[in-house]
Amino acid sequence: MAQTKQPIEYRLLVQPTYDETLKKAGTLFLLETSKQFTNFSYAIDVKDDVDGSNVVWTLHGLRAPSMNMPATGAAQFRKVYFDLPRSLHFTLIKKGKTKAVTELKFARTAYTSGRSTSAFLKIYTDEQMFEANRAGDVVMAELKPDIHREPPKKKQPPQTKSKT
């Protein structure tokens, strides 16, 4: 039996970062949808929980951005963590309790990721690869046809029969 390939719904970038304000090294987690939105670039609503070497993100949907100008692109959630252990378990939980679980290992300059237990999440530990593979990972928004409505027709008075 042929197995259908589950589409990638989310892309996750995990990489080292440095906060100039705090003068502290941290770990950037950037989650984005593979779906591109044409009217707004939404924010992903995430509840995150860190407990020792476990990081759990629970997705609660999308929310409209708080900016005045509309933009296009993927929905995103970005978080920087400081003082994480060198090895941790990352879990992403979608609605319906579907989970993607992976193990992340951190060195000073390089991060590695185990394979995700679910195909809906694709994990990158290199920003160049994250950007280079975006075109292959994304699902382009369907262009909806413009619907032009005709103006309402004026009611015609009833025609009377002419007597001849």
Residue 148 located in a structural domain:
no
Task: Residue 24: give the domain boundaries.
Answer: 10-137
Residue 145 located in a structural domain:
no
- The DSSP-derived string for 93-135 is E-GGG-EEEEEEEE-SS-EEEPPPSSTTEEEES-HHHHHHTHH
Residue 2 located in a structural domain:
no
Q: How many domains does the chain have?
A: 1
pLDDT tens-place values along the chain, 164 residues long:
333 355 789 999 999 999 999 999 999 999 999 988 877 778 899 999 999 999 999 999 988 877 666 677 888 999 999 999 999 999 999 988 889 999 999 887 778 888 777 788 999 999 999 999 888 887 665 555 556 566 666 666 666 666 65
Encoded amino acid at 112, one letter: T
Residue 34 located in a structural domain:
yes
Residue 159 located in a structural domain:
no
Residue 17 located in a structural domain:
yes
Residue 163 located in a structural domain:
no
